[in-house]
Amino acid sequence: MRFRSTRGSQQRLGFSEALWRGLAEDGGLYVPETWPLFSVSDFDGAESLAEVGERLLAPFVEGDPLATQIGAIVREAFNFSAPLRQVRGTADDEILTALELSNGPTAAFKDFGARFLAACFQRIRKPDAAPVNILVATSGDTGGAVAAAFHGRSGMAVTVLFPKGLVSPTQQHQLTCWGDNVRAFAVRGTFDECQRLVKEAFGDAALRQHQQLSSANSINLGRLLPQAVYYAATSLAWYRKRDRPLSFIIPSGNLGNAVACLWARQLGLPIGHVVLAHNANRTVPDFLSQGEWLPRASIATLASAMDVGNPSNMERMRDLFPDHVRLCDVVSAISVEDSAIRHRIREDRARFGEVWCPHTAVAAEVWATMSAERRRAEAWCLVSTASPAKFPEVVEPLIEGRVSVPETLARLFDRPSVFEEIDASLEMLKVGLKSR
């Protein structure tokens, strides 16, 4: 298996090298050169995430140094569950489930890709090689997951860039409490500017000569492919019981989670329609409805991890579906305002006994505002991306109660928070990196 750039470069890389480089030489994102096609029966006997993952990812690592280790990698990375459960209280003729992706160390779906990538990097890097610096821009959850996954690993450093004042206090603590080989910068700007800085750093020849850089954002192939595993495992389990595909409503920002679902669908897994649930950042919904790609500055919302105005993974989505009509046959997108997020958190606590994080509440609002006919026509799954305990400042006043805190999160609050502030300029970032 070889991987190519979304921007047309003739360069073709194997799995390990594509992961290590992060971004293609022409600035594009790596995608598979060819797509294997699976049938449901190819996964007979595979029940757990690790078992499904080993079979799903085998073609992508074929011929690569990691091919013989992919089983060990997925077992190390996926050592927690992603249960699918029925949402209580829904009508008998409306099937609604929730896919819980918050059981990892940092209580968000980013743990799956971050832990997989770290396990791969640990095996790819030669013991006598120069240290590698993992650059990651985060709108809230990615940085914490990457920091947790790489913390304490020899020969690897992590540099986290987050937008100052635009992540929740709980998220900020998760980004800044690690120390050791993890360093955090609060950027005076938006997430889009943090993401721009990462891409500019990769494009700076002098900086790359001084430091070995790689990326752990969802621009990295090694973040998306493992996320396709939980969509594969979930859709398989559903199909085996119900003999029908499962459609997903996915809280969406930089589109990595959405593209992972579409990749699983492309591989032949029984996945129906994919609905992208966006907050007030309307770039993607407007593109799907109007056909013109118009990135814009991001808007701060209650669902802060989705505050993205120029999502980089749209390159991968458009590469997979170059025909806009075909894209819209499979994917739709809806934008939800903060007032509706608040309403949905209150309403679903009262109606279903559910406590959603603000991002999952965006998906829940999209389902609630669908027509009854559409809700009945398909089996729908809300992708629950994070624990509400990461957003107590938003959730607790709305439910008029306390949110229980997972033990993994509680332990992090005992660690001190340390970070530096920088302007959103490459020169400031370079000074910070060189001072390490």
Query: Alpha-carbon distance 68 to 71, whole Å?
Result: 7
The two tokens of residue 131 are 């240290």
Report which secondary-structure segment, H or E, holds 368: helix 358-368
Residues 361/344, Cβ–Cβ less than 8 Å: yes
Q: Kindly report the CA angle at 320 between 315 and 323, in degrees rounded to 5? A: 95
For residue 270, how far is the Cα from the chain centroid?
21
Query: Alpha-carbon distance 248 to 379, whole Å?
Result: 9
- Phi, psi for 334 (deg, rounded to 5): -135, 140
Query: Alpha-carbon distance 171 to 318, whole Å?
Result: 31
Three-state secondary-structure class, residue 73: helix
Q: Which of 110, 199, 390, 430 is labelled catalytic?
A: 110
Is 241 designated active site? no
**E-strand stretches of 143-284:** 156-163, 182-188, 212-215, 246-251, 271-278
Residues 77/116, Cβ–Cβ less than 8 Å: yes
Looking up tokens 């129906």 gives 272
Q: Kindly report the CA angle at 196 between 139 and 220, in degrees rounded to 5? A: 70
One-letter amino acid for residue 46 of the chain: A
Three-state secondary-structure class, residue 421: strand
Looking up tokens 């591989």 gives 267
Kindly list the catalytic residues: 110
